[in-house]
Amino acid sequence: MRKKVLIVCGTRPEAIKVLPVYKYLIEHYNSKLKTFLCSTGQHKEMLQSVFDVFEVHSDIDLKLMKNNQGLSDLTSNILVSIDELLKEIKPDLILVQGDTTTAFASALAGFYNNIPIAHLEAGLRTYDLSAPFPEEANRKLITSVANMHFAPTQLNKESLINEGVQESSICVTGNTVLDSLLYVDKKSKEDDVLGEKIKKDLELEGYKISNRKFILITSHRRESFGQGFINICAALKKLSRELPDYDLVFPVHLNPNVQNIIHSSLNNISNVYLMKPVGYQSFVSLMSRSEFILTDSGGVQEEAPSLGKPVFVMREKTERKEGVLAKLVKIVGTTEEGITRGVLNSVNNNFSDFSFVNNPYGDGNASQKVSEKIIGFLKR
């Protein structure tokens, strides 16, 4: 009788990082495992675009997202729904990724049902529960109930050991985000028809690729809601004036707390392009074509250096310290002065404060390592 593995995801970043593992398991271990893919629908539209890229579909779609749903409601809805699902399919292992509400609530449901938890992207820490919020707490809470800890880097492993996690339960794998990135980038560059389609899709979504240089911008963090986004918009206005030879390309997150401030602040600036959210293939293309990137995303801090792109992190702290130490990313904070000064200093000095010699986040084979450890765990 085949063992059962349940993989749960709810946001686009989760899907980007779990789908390489899902595909590897079903392609290489289908005779030994029955692997279920469950979507909570936390980012429904953005999630589907990633499923399409990997040519997969969820086995279970819980459709739990509602407009302006608070964290308490979302957590309780996921907890109850996953609990019911576990009683129905009775998996032998649950795989969750990262620091989302979906990952935390699913891990908690598994713990309540005495089902082993495997945590993908374990051990990232800022040691500040307010930044990122609530993600820092989610990660630590998942660690406390997980049985397998897949740490992207040695530094993440050391953080777990320092918190009392048994070393035998930790495996350093690299980050599966690079598996996805390299797969999608290669696919779009080798397929001319796909490449042209991506260009047309980008134009429909709000930006036409041309010979002009552009800066890619992403921002969605909950801790930046309100004044943080006001500051970020003020910085982007100033950069649009100080760097007139650049376009500022900003795919705007669907959350109304993001949409309202961004559009009211940055509309009608000639070299600022506020796009609709773009699919994953389109986003990888934007990263690859951009001159540099401003972001508060965690995944982008790992992806962009693999494409040789300088990254300015619009956060006060990052749980991805390896990138800072390797001079792959630069933290510029969330104040107008900090962002503009950090970006302009680097641009004026031809990005001499960045280095792209070593990427600490892996070699693109993390999914294989994770899958083999899962098989070994289930055999034992």
Amino acid at the residue 211? N
Residue 147 to residue 142: CA distance in whole angstroms: 10
Across 62-130, the runs of DSSP E, i.e. the strands, are 93-97, 117-120
How many Å separate Cα 139 from the centre of its chain? 14
Question: Is 7 in contact with 110 (CB distance < 8 Å)?
Answer: no
Catalytic: which of 220, 221, 315, 320? 220
Q: Is 121 a catalytic residue?
A: yes
Amino acid at the residue 320? R
How are strands ordered across the β-sheet holding 213-218?
272-275, 246-251, 213-218, 292-295, 311-313, 329-331
Q: Is 353 a catalytic residue?
A: no
Catalytic: which of 43, 119, 125, 135? 135
Which bin fits 327, alpha (ψ -120 to 50), beta or left (φ > 0)? Answer: left
Catalytic: which of 12, 14, 43, 99? 99
Residue 329 to residue 331: CA distance in whole angstroms: 7
Give helix 366-379 / helix 176-190 axis angle, nearest 10°. 130
Q: Is 136 a catalytic residue?
A: no
Catalytic: which of 28, 222, 289, 341? 222
What size, in residues, is the chain? 380
Q: Is 205 a catalytic residue?
A: no
Give helix 256-266 / helix 227-242 axis angle, nearest 10°. 40
DSSP 201-217: HHHHHT----SSEEEEE
Q: Is 55 a catalytic residue?
A: no
Token pair, residue 183, equals: 């797969």
Q: Is 363 a catalytic residue?
A: no
Backbone dihedral angles phi then psi of residue 355, each to the nearest 5 degrees: -140, 145
Token pair, residue 248, equals: 């500022």
Catalytic: which of 158, 201, 205, 253? 253
- Active site (catalytic) residues: 99, 121, 135, 220, 222, 253
